[in-house]
Structure 1
Amino acid sequence: MWRMTKISMLPLLILLILNGCNAINANDNDIFQYKDSYVGDNSAVGNIVSQLPEGKHLNGFELKTNEEPYGIILNYQGIATGDYKKIAINNATFIFTLIHNVEWVTFNFNNEDNEEYNVTKEKLQKWYEKDLSEFTNVDDLNSFIQEYLQDDSKVNQYFEQ
C-alpha cells in the first residue's frame, strides 16, 4: 500500500515542480518583449510605463495619437523624493527604445512644485549621440543610461538646451 501511494505521488510532485517553474517564468517581466510596440497600443504602453522606475507612482497616462508627432503624457503622484530630471531621462529612454513611433513624452510630477519635463526622441538621441532603437536588452540599456545619469551637469544640460 505504501509503495502504491509513493508511485501515485510521483506524478503530482512532477506537476508541482513544472508549475513552479512556469510561475517563475511568468513573473519574469522582460520589458523588451514590448520592443517595437506602437504608441497607440494602450496595453503595451501601460505595461512598459508600469515597469519603469517610479511606475508604482504612475497616476495615469494619456496617448496623443490624433496627429503626428505622437506622444505620451505621464502623470506621477506620491514620489516622496527624487531627482525628477533623472527619472524623466531614464524613463523616456526606455520608452523611445521600446515604442516605435513615439516622438515625445511629457512627465508631470504632482509634487509640491508640480514639476513638468518634456523629452523628445530627437533631442535625447542627439544628447546621447546614439540611435536608441539599437538596444536589444535591459542590461545594456541600463548600463548605457547610468553612464549619462552619473553626471548631474550633463543631466541639467539636456534640459537647458
Structure 2
Amino acid sequence: MTNNENRLIDEKLTSLPKPTMSNQSKQAIHSILLEELSTVSPSKKRRELNKYLFTNLAGIAVFALLAFFIFNSIQENNNFSPAKQSSSDGDVFSINGIPYKLENHIKYKGSYIGDNSSVIAILDGLPGAAYRRTIELQTKKQPYGLIVNYGRNDEEKLNTSEYDEYWTDKRSILLYNATVLFMVIDNLDSVDFHLGLDDNKVNHFQFTRAEIETLYGRDMAHYVDNFESWNQEVLTVIKSDTAVTEFYSTQQ
C-alpha cells in the first residue's frame, strides 16, 4: 500500500463521527451502579469497618509498646529508677573532700565479727582507712568486740601536719565509723578506736551498740537500705557539732 493510500485512509477515519452517549444512557448506567452498591450486606459493611478499626488500633498499640521500651531504655542508660533510692551529693559524710555514702556500706550488711576479711573490707571503706594499722577481734565469748588502731605509718611519720589535720573532726569521724559498723555487722556489741598522737599517747574512744541505738532511737538494722532515715536521722546527728558534743558528754 502506497503512502497516498495510507494518507487517504487516515483522512477518512478522522472524518468519521466520534461515538457519543446520550444523557438517558448515562443516567441508566448510574442507576445500575447505585443499585449494585446498595446490595452490599450490612454484615459485610461491619466486617469492613471492624477490619479498619482493628488495623488502626493495632498500629497504635505497636507504637505505644515501642515508646514504652524506648523510655525504659533511656532510664536504664541514665541509671535512673523511680523505685530505687540513692543518696544525693548533699546527703553524704565528707572528709577532706572524699564522700562516704550509705550505698557504699550496705553491701556488707549481714556480716559478722568472726569474719576477719569482711571486717577489714568494711574498715577500708570508712574514713581513716589510710591510717588504720591493726585490728583485734574479740570473738571468744559475748559481748563480741572490735578494736581498731589508727596511727601514722612509718613512711608518714614526718607528715604530722597532714595527719593532725585529718583528725581535726575525729569525734564525728569515729562516731560515723561506729555507726556503720554496728549497722552492717549483726553480732558486734562494742567497738574501740585507738587513735595515736604525736607524743606517743593514744586516745581511746569506745562505743557500744546500746549507746548508738539510744542515740538514734532505732535498731541499727533499720538503716540498711533506708536512705531517707539515714539522711534525716543519722547524718543530721553526725553533722551537728551540738549533737556530737552532747553524745560524747553522756558516755561513761
Q: TM-score, normalised by structure 2?
A: 0.49
Summarize deviations over 1:14-49 as a string: whole Å, max 9, x none: xxxxxxxxxxxxxxx943221011000001101001
Which residue of structure 2 aligns with residue 80 of structure 1?
164
Bigger Rg, which one:
2
Q: Does the C-alpha gap of structure 1 residues 38 and 134 become closer, same or farther in structure 2, counting only changes over 3 Å?
A: same
Summarize deviations over 1:82-123 as a string: whole Å, max 9, x none: 222111110000000000000110011102352110011101
Which residue of structure 1 aligns with residue 45 of structure 2?
none
Does the aligned pair in 1 maintain the 2:238–2:244 contact within 8 Å?
A: yes
Count of aligned positions: 133
Instruction: Note the C-alpha offset of 1:146.
Output: 2.1
Equivalent residue in structure 2 for 1:44, among 114, 118, 127: 118
Q: Does the C-alpha gap of structure 1 residues 138 and 91 become closer, same or farther in structure 2, counting only changes over 3 Å?
A: farther
Does the aligned pair in 2 maintain the 1:84–1:109 contact within 8 Å?
A: no
Instruction: Note the C-alpha offset of 1:138.
Output: 8.4
Pairing 1:120–2:194 present: no
Q: 2: CA distance between counterparts of 1:57 and 1:130?
A: 31
Q: 1: CA distance between counterparts of 2:206 and 2:179?
A: 12
Does the aligned pair in 1 maintain the 2:104–2:125 contact within 8 Å?
A: no
Instruction: Note the C-alpha offset of 1:66.
Output: 1.2
Which residue of structure 2 aligns with residue 56 of structure 1?
130
Counterpart of 1:91, as a letter, is: N
- Amino-acid identity (%): 27
Secondary structure of 2:234's aligned partner: helix
Q: Which runs of 4+ in 1 moved over 4 A?
A: 138-142
Unaligned runs of 5+ in 2: 1-102, 153-162
Which residue of structure 2 aligns with residue 146 of structure 1?
235
By relative contact order (CA 8 Å, sep 6+), the higher-ranking structure is 1
The 5-angstrom pairing of residues 24-43 of structure 1 reads 30-43=104-117
Instruction: Note the C-alpha offset of 1:137.
Output: 3.4
Secondary structure of 2:237's aligned partner: helix
Q: 2: CA distance between counterparts of 1:103 and 1:140?
A: 25
Does the aligned pair in 2 maintain the 1:135–1:141 contact within 8 Å?
A: yes
